[in-house]
Structure 1
Amino acid sequence: MTAVDTTRFVTLEGLEGAGKSTAMAFVREWFEARGESVVTTREPGGTPLAEELRHVLKAVRDEPVAESTELLLMFAARAQHVERVIRPALSAGHVVVCDRFTDSSRAYQGAGRGMSSEVIEQLAGIAHPGCNPSLTFWLDVPVELGLERAAAREAADRFEQEALAFFERVREGFVRLAEQYPERLVRVDASAPIDAVRARIESTLEARYG
């Protein structure tokens, strides 16, 4: 597979209700103000097929979803997304800003579900070899606040119906990722006033790309 420059590949991570969509707008506006062409996208999703898989993954259903099924569907959607959207956009010189990427699988399916980190990294190597973000904003919010925000937004999907303890494990997964990848993963206090969130994001972008 052809190598691609991922310097301009930025991702956003966090729990439900963390404010990733708002943060994405801040990142997009910062780059566009400097004359850059920006592609914004999301996971799971980003292509017609991957969006279908998103619906399958998030739909509330009577049939329990096996943890391995969930993980494999996530990476199936990701492989399609990277092949059809992310790699071509980066190769064309665009900035790519993505709402969630493999850090979400590490936190949700890894820390949250207890899936093997070795298996997750093997799947990452298959789904997007050599295509990893160079900068990740982790929108960190207390679990209860994030779920409260999400509940006010729309009906709960399959993930949002999980117990509080699940999301506590997921957040701890993000804490560990921030420790593991300090040069890439930047914590943003998503419970702070919106102006402070924007300032933190923009100062990081200025330091990295200014």
Structure 2
Amino acid sequence: MPAAPGTHAATGVFVCFEGGEGSGKSTQSRLLRAALEQQGYAVLLTFEPGDTAVGRQLRQIVLDPATGSLSDRTEALLYAADKAEHVDTVVQPALARGEVVITDRYVDSTLAYQGAGRSLDVAEVEQVARWATGDLRPHLTVVLDVEPEQGLGRFEGRDRIEGESLEFHRRVREAFVAMAAADPEHYLVLDGRLPVDEIAATVLERVTPLLDRATRGAVSS
């Protein structure tokens, strides 16, 4: 998956956490927010899918096991719709204010899950996802890498995507690693099995040089 040029916000800092199920993205997102808020930065912590009113309905459709089978293209388009609303109403406004935006999942998840996982043409899926997000790229994407067997074993109940086959999740993992390898300037890959505080310290060290784009001030809710 070769890296392609995209748009990076001129103000604010956009950081994304990616990885397979149970890799620790949510934990590390919260820890990064706490560390940056301690330094006085305005931080917005968000996630995909579902962090808008429209997104919550879309999340219910794509993740609820009761939804059952969906056309692979239908699923990809639902995720793209969530991203379009999320970027337009949440991410871009915060970046324009000079805030640090930390998102748990973004475009790479669509490429990994709906592209590689579902075996759709990744280039076609990417075209849709990039259009939906105005081709906005994170300044840094942190990939927390874990074996699917380990990640899936960290919880009992599984949603519609988590319940996919082990081979599906292995394709997803390979896709994340390949995307990171293609653009090392904008990616940081870390072993998700490392101690939580060690991962957090490494992420903060990588984010720190980016903070000259951000403003200090009131923190977003």
1:142 aligns with 2:147: yes
> How far has the Cα of 1:29 moved from its partner?
1.7
Give the distance between the partners of 1:6 and 1:125, measured in 2 at CA.
Answer: 20
Give the distance between the partners of 2:95 and 2:70, measured in 1 at CA.
Answer: 34
Normalised by the size of structure 2, how large is the TM-score? Answer: 0.87
Instruction: Report % sequence identity.
Output: 40
Contact 1:111/1:169, CA 8 A, preserved across alignment: yes
Contact 2:11/2:98, CA 8 A, preserved across alignment: no
Give the distance between the partners of 1:89 and 1:208, measured in 2 at CA.
Answer: 16
Structure 1 residue aligned with 2:105, among 100, 106, 119?
100
1:209 is matched with which residue? 211
1:76 is matched with which residue? 81
1:58 is matched with which residue? 63
Cα RMSD over matched residues?
A: 1.7
198-207 or 8-17: bigger deviation: 198-207
Deviations 1:72-117 (A, max 9, x none): 0000011011111111111111111000000001111111111112
1:9 is matched with which residue? 14
Give the distance between the partners of 2:19 and 2:161, measured in 1 at CA.
Answer: 13
Structure 2 residue aligned with 1:19, among 16, 24, 27?
24
Contact 2:47/2:105, CA 8 A, preserved across alignment: yes
Unaligned runs of 5+ in 2: 1-7, 213-221
1:184 is matched with which residue? 186
Distance 1:31 1:41, change over 3 A: same
114-123 or 76-85: bigger deviation: 114-123
1:39 is matched with which residue? 44
2:118 is matched with which residue? 113
Contact 1:142/1:191, CA 8 A, preserved across alignment: no
The DSSP-based 3-state class of the residue aligned with 1:25 is helix
Contact 1:75/1:127, CA 8 A, preserved across alignment: yes
136-145 or 60-69: bigger deviation: 60-69
Normalised by the size of structure 1, how large is the TM-score? Answer: 0.92
1:200 is matched with which residue? 202
> How far has the Cα of 1:209 moved from its partner?
3.5
Give the distance between the partners of 1:118 and 1:16, measured in 2 at CA.
Answer: 23
The DSSP-based 3-state class of the residue aligned with 1:73 is helix
Give the distance between the partners of 1:139 and 1:64, measured in 2 at CA.
Answer: 28
Unaligned runs of 5+ in 1: none
The DSSP-based 3-state class of the residue aligned with 1:199 is helix
Give the distance between the partners of 2:67 and 2:87, measured in 1 at CA.
Answer: 31
> How far has the Cα of 1:130 moved from its partner?
4.1
